[in-house]
Amino acid sequence: MIDVLPCPTIGLRSESNMLEMMVAELNSNDNGHSNSMPTDSSNRAVQQVPDRETSSDVEEVIIGRTEEKQKILSILSEHITEKMVILPIYGIGGIGKTTLAQMVFNDQQFEDYTRVWVYVSPEFNLHKIGNSIIMQLTDKISNISTKQMLHNRLKELFAGKRILIVLDDLWEENPKEFDKLKVMLGLGVGSKVIIVTTRDGGLARKFCSPAVAPYKLETLTVDECWTIIKHKADFENRVDQEQLEHIGREIAAKCGGVALAAQSLGYMLNGMTSDEWESVRDSYIWNLSSLEGHEVLASLRLSYSHMSAWLRLCFSYCAIFPKGHKIVKYDLIHQWIALGFIKQSSIFDSMQLCENYVTQLLGMSFLQYSKTLSSDTKRNEDVILFTMHDLVYDLAKETLSHQISVGGNNCRYTLLSDCRESLQYFVAFPANIRALHFQDCGNKQLRGSAFSPAKCLRVLDLSECFIQKLPDCIGQLKQLRFLHAPRIQDKMIPNCITELSELNYLNLRGSEKITALPESIGDMKGLMHLDLSDCNGILELPISFAELTQLVHLDLSRCRVSISKAFGGFTKLQYLDLTVHYKIVTDRRGLAEVIGNLIKLKYLNLSSCIRIMVPSEYQIGSLLDKISTLSNLEHLVLSENEELSSIPESISNLRKLHTLDLSSCHLKKLPDSINQMVSLKVLNLKGVN
């Protein structure tokens, strides 16, 4: 159903429409057209709201791995004076190699190091590895294609630095490629610590430094797996602990000592009856394979089988992203909604249901918080990124593999990868295609009729391309709901884009050459998410912009556009970023008068913005008092405002605020009432005088 296509290619491999059939069947059931309601395989009712929170802290304690972390830190300390030390960590899939590497990566021992995290993947590519390192060291996109230029740039960036590099999930076995990688990593005058994770012990022994032995990560004990299961299953709050103890230990013994298996099973067991615990223990799925490490895949299959039908749909779709890809949370959510994967409810809106699905996938470790920001998101540290463990990703592909067919026009969801030549032949896009993603496609000129046949297209993601201009045919995609087209090189976007009445997500970030938005942009009544960050060629917004009253997310960071009083009509806004670059002159005064109307705001970023919103210290206080009435606010950024010398006592009215960023402000003191802000978890005072 989901296809990853190398490009260029002749024609398109096609896939069946299983997901479409599932959506149609589920909607039919929900509308009363079937006598049976969709349930998960345990026949338990599908939960409609989040039943428990999943920690977003990537430093969550991993049972049984603290000792291993200290051993690795000790090994690295012994060789820290060397120009380059390489320490591979190896072990079976799902055992916790990446998590252990992450614990070392985040340790205080390396707080003075420049840190880089590279997902290598089975498709070993030196240029991709090198460009990934460059992007993380410079915060800029890098697409260097020649070996010499790549080496020159790395040598320049490595010079004089102490660098920690994690190469996660190395598979390559060719010794010549090893040598090339070592040469590349050894460039420049500086000190480097290289940590490699791999499943292959032989590979680990070949790649490590001469004086360093690779570290084998052993499996967890049954007791350690049981501890993880108990934590995930909220065992301590059960009244039937004595009855479940023996069953739970037997399930723990089936985890094969793998943390990922214990985590997914523990989450699934939460809320189950003792009979259901026994059913999990005795499931036939445990006996489907006798291969080494089969326990972890069996546990993942069990967790998948107990998902609701709608959650399975959303999980399987994640296979459209490349393995190791950093998935932006709200982009994923908007794609689910655009494709009709979210069950309609009269009680909860689609975003609430999506949040519930994300919570469940995180809880069972089918999604994991990313260890690092991507180069595209480093400016926006509020962006939440996910990754999928390799084994989980393989399961997502497996759930659809038997549905893949070749030939015909049934292709629905496609990733086009490594398109290095013209996209002209894509005039043959299947008419029924629903979602189209591009990866590593470079700087492309899309033909005017590029997408004309794709009348059913709902999701178009061009974020991995450098698009010179949007084709005029974009207006023909009447079903399009999600359009991600950053870094457009043209001065204009086609006026016909406003004919996309179904569009609810539009991202044009980084399109610095665009000078104006279409005057009729207000016709896009359903638009909920609009990102114009770094579109600093746009000087003013069309009058009709005020008609976009369904906006929930608006990012105008580092833009020159003026803000008018009309913004007071955006009463559904939950996210607003008005960050101003110090070199940009703009007008934000209109917002000061109406900001109190934005009562649903959860995130507000006014970094470097206050000086152009209000001219006097008295008015600054008045502005902050208005902000303090926004009772739903959870994240407030006031950084880089040198004029900000005090915070009013009214700030304590923000009962839900968990993050307050006052970095690089000239504060004289904090308000006494800050002690009353019981939800506050993060207070950033870095650089405060």
The identity of residue 4, as a single letter, is V
pLDDT confidence of residue 50:
31
pLDDT confidence of residue 380:
58
CA gap 84, 194 in Å, rounded: 7
Q: Region 632-639: what's the mean pLDDT?
A: 95
Q: Is residue 364 part of a domain?
A: yes
Which stretch of 69-83, 209-223, 608-622 has the lowest confidence by average pLDDT? 608-622
Note whether 152 and 238 are same-domain residues.
no
Note whether 285 and 383 are same-domain residues.
yes
Domain of 147, CATH number, reads: 3.40.50.300
Q: Is residue 430 part of a domain?
A: no
What mean pLDDT is reported for the chain?
A: 82
Note whether 263 and 178 are same-domain residues.
no
The identity of residue 375, as a single letter, is S
Helices (H) and strands (E) in the chain, counts: 18, 23
Task: Dump pLDDT digits (tens) for 110-164.
Answer: 989 999 999 887 788 899 999 999 999 988 878 888 999 999 999 999 998 999 9
* Banded pLDDT at 323 (limits 50, 70, 90): confident
Question: Are 199 and 92 spatial neighbours (Cβ–Cβ below 8 Å)?
Answer: yes
Note whether 628 and 651 are same-domain residues.
yes
Q: Is residue 155 part of a domain?
A: yes
Q: Is residue 92 part of a domain?
A: yes
pLDDT confidence of residue 9:
32
Give the list of residues 6+ apart from residue 555 with CB closer than 8 angstroms, or none: 380, 509, 530, 531, 532, 533, 575, 577
The answer to whether the peptide bond before residue 50 is cis (omega within 30 degrees of 0) is: no
The identity of residue 551, as a single letter, is L
* Banded pLDDT at 6 (limits 50, 70, 90): very low
Task: Dump pLDDT digits (tens) for 491-517.
Answer: 888 899 999 999 999 999 999 999 999
Residue with more model confidence, 580 or 599: 599
Note whether 199 and 290 are same-domain residues.
no
Q: Is residue 603 part of a domain?
A: yes
Q: Region 451-474: what's the mean pLDDT?
A: 82
Q: Region 672-688: what's the mean pLDDT?
A: 91
Answer whether residue 4 shows pLDDT above 70: no
Q: pTM of the full predicted structure?
A: 0.82
Give the list of residues 6+ apart from residue 176 with CB closer than 8 angstroms, or none: none
Q: Region 578-605: what's the mean pLDDT?
A: 79
Residue with more model confidence, 374 or 184: 184
Answer whether residue 550 shows pLDDT above 50: yes
Domain of 588, CATH number, reads: 3.80.10.10
Last residue of a domain, one of 335, 368, 394: 394
Note whether 42 and 106 are same-domain residues.
no
Residue with more model confidence, 442 or 375: 442
Task: Dump pLDDT digits (tens) for 258-306.
Answer: 889 999 999 999 999 999 999 999 998 888 765 555 667 888 999 999 9
Last residue of a domain, one of 394, 421, 436: 394
Question: Are 279 and 42 spatial neighbours (Cβ–Cβ below 8 Å)?
Answer: yes
Q: Which domain holds residue 647?
A: 571-689
Question: Are 168 and 141 spatial neighbours (Cβ–Cβ below 8 Å)?
Answer: no
CA gap 524, 190 in Å, rounded: 53
Angle among Cα 395, 398, 400 to the nearest 5 degrees reads 125
Note whether 143 and 289 are same-domain residues.
no
Q: Is residue 368 part of a domain?
A: yes
Q: Region 341-359: what's the mean pLDDT?
A: 84
Token reading at 466? 């450098």
Give buried/exposed letters for 558-584 (b at 16+ CB in 10 A, else e).
bbbbebbebbbbbebbbbbbbbbbeee
Token reading at 122? 């089975």
Q: Region 236-253: what's the mean pLDDT?
A: 94
Q: Is residue 512 part of a domain?
A: no
Note whether 34 and 169 are same-domain residues.
no
Note whether 235 and 350 are same-domain residues.
yes
Angle among Cα 593, 597, 598 to the nearest 5 degrees reads 115
Task: Dump pLDDT digits (tens) for 559-589.
Answer: 888 777 778 889 999 999 998 865 555 666 6
Percentage above 70 pLDDT, the chain = 80
pLDDT confidence of residue 611:
76
Give the list of residues 6+ apart from residue 519 with CB closer than 8 angstroms, or none: 495, 542, 543, 544
pLDDT confidence of residue 517:
93
- Maximum alpha-carbon separation in the chain: 73
Note whether 211 and 309 are same-domain residues.
no
Give the list of residues 6+ apart from residue 63 with CB closer than 8 angstroms, or none: 220, 224, 227, 228, 231, 259
Assign 461 to helix, strand or coil.
strand
Question: Are 151 and 184 spatial neighbours (Cβ–Cβ below 8 Å)?
Answer: yes
Q: Region 595-602: what's the mean pLDDT?
A: 92
Q: Is residue 5 part of a domain?
A: no
Distances (CA, A) of 225 to 231, 258, 392, 658: 10, 7, 19, 33
Note whether 185 and 267 are same-domain residues.
no
* Banded pLDDT at 42 (limits 50, 70, 90): very low
Note whether 99 and 170 are same-domain residues.
yes
Task: Please give the backbone phi and psi of residue 129, each rounded to the nearest 5 degrees, phi first.
Answer: -65, -50
Residue with more model confidence, 232 or 26: 232
pLDDT confidence of residue 411:
66
Question: Are 318 and 392 spatial neighbours (Cβ–Cβ below 8 Å)?
Answer: no
pLDDT confidence of residue 613:
76
pLDDT confidence of residue 1:
45
pLDDT confidence of residue 189:
83
CA gap 588, 564 in Å, rounded: 8
Answer whether residue 29 shows pLDDT above 70: no
The identity of residue 95, as a single letter, is I
CA gap 67, 145 in Å, rounded: 42
Last residue of a domain, one of 216, 242, 267: 216
Residue with more model confidence, 138 or 49: 138
pLDDT confidence of residue 43:
35
Domain count, the chain: 3
